[in-house]
């Protein structure tokens, strides 16, 4: 899998810039807002974004569901640093950023009210197995939002050598 060759810290510096000026990414965030507006989430529920990157989607969750605990999980410190800055700028005390590989996550069965994974499954080893694990953590009637490219991305510029992977 090519993801092991990508310098995710370098990628973190550029990701938000690309998302800010990419109309398709902005549309995805708007669609996400429209979808979560219909989620039946109660106060004090647990919402988790796995492979959360720079925190665009977990910050939206934390703002929309201020009485819930939102967990941002990503294995890259640079990505998490950007997410922590966003949470502080928005004064989101309900957003916890965890430096952790998704494959190491272990939540209790049926303990999560919503799981999100956007543009990250392609970088995970055995994404089908990971999605099955995620589903086991969801409580009955829970919500999920998955979006993935379904193909390799041209992210060669973020490899240590800048060469195609």
At 14-46, the pLDDT tens digits run 777 777 777 888 899 999 999 999 999 999 999
Which ranges of the chain does DSSP label H, i.e. alpha helix? 8-21, 23-36, 56-64, 77-89, 127-137
Distance, in Å, from the CA atom of 80 to the CA atom of 86, rounded to the nearest integer, reads 10
The helix or strand, by DSSP H or E, that contains position 72, with its residue range, turns out to be strand 69-74
CA torsion through residues 120, 122, 126, 131, sign: positive
Classify domain 42-149 at the CATH superfamily level: Vaccinia Virus protein VP39 (3.40.50.150)
Could you tell me the residue ranges of all domains in the chain?
A: 42-149
DSSP letter, residue 100: -
Angle at 30 between CA 24 and CA 33, to 5 degrees: 145
Report if pTM > 0.85.
Answer: no
Q: Indicate if the pLDDT at residue 151 is higher than 60.
A: no
């Amino acid at each position: 899998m090519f993801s092991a060759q990508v310098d995710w810290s370098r990628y973190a510096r550029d990701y938000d810039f690309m998302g800010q000026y990419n109309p398709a990414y902005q549309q995805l965030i708007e669609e996400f807002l429209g979808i979560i507006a219909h989620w039946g989430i109660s106060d004090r529920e647990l919402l988790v974004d796995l492979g959360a990157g720079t925190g665009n989607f977990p910050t939206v969750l934390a703002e929309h569901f201020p009485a819930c605990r939102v967990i941002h999980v990503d294995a890259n410190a640079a990505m998490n640093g950007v997410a922590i800055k966003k949470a502080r700028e928005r004064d989101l005390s309900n957003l916890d950023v965890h430096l952790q590989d998704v494959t190491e996550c272990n939540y209790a069965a049926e303990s999560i009210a919503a799981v999100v994974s956007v543009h990250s499954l392609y970088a995970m080893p055995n994404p089908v197995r990971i999605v099955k694990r995620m589903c086991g953590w969801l409580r009955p009637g829970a919500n999920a939002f998955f979006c993935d490219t379904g193909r390799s991305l041209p992210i060669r510029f973020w490899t240590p050598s800048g060469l195609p992977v």
